[in-house]
Amino acid sequence: MITGSCHCGAVTFEVDDTPQRLVSCNCSICRRLAPLWFHTATDNTKLNGETDSYAWGDKMLAFQRCRTCGCTTHYLPLDDTRRMAVNVRMSDPEQINDVPIRRFDGADSWAFLD
């Protein structure tokens, strides 16, 4: 299980899943937010708290951030309600230290760089 929260603690998440890998993306928004994504099924995830949503460009993803402190906690694809990604930078590092990180080129090729 992976748990996490925004900086102020108003938004929390629990993922009943074990990550095989985490994803670091270089698209225009991820370069600015610096998230570390754990992709999982929405059925495995419990979210608590109120968030604001931000969708841009082709409107395929809705990034969710805490209404109080502004930390990006997760995103939801707008075309697939079965999948999501949580930002495990909001987790204690001990929970993810041993999980490999894959670099994804979301800025150009839409391919993994490793």
What's the domain count of the chain? 1
Q: Which domain holds residue 7?
A: 2-104
Q: pTM of the full predicted structure?
A: 0.94
Q: Between the CA of residue 2 and those of 42, 78, 81, 88, 114, what are the distances in Å?
A: 14, 23, 20, 8, 25
Give the largest CA-CA distance in the chain: 37
* pLDDT tens profile 84-114: 999 999 999 999 999 999 999 999 999 999 8
Q: What is the CATH number of the domain that holds 96?
A: 2.170.150.70
In a domain, 112, yes or no: no
In a domain, 110, yes or no: no
Quote the DSSP letter at residue 99: S
In a domain, 19, yes or no: yes
Q: Which two tokens stand for residue 59?
A: 């409107």
In a domain, 84, yes or no: yes
In a domain, 93, yes or no: yes
In a domain, 30, yes or no: yes
Residue 30, SS3? helix
In a domain, 109, yes or no: no
Give the ranges where the chain is alpha helix by DSSP (H). 28-33
In a domain, 81, yes or no: yes
* pLDDT tens profile 36-50: 999 999 999 999 999
Can you give the pLDDT at residue 51? Answer: 98
Cβ(107)–Cβ(29) under 8 Å? no
* pLDDT tens profile 41-82: 999 999 999 999 999 888 899 999 999 999 999 999 999 889
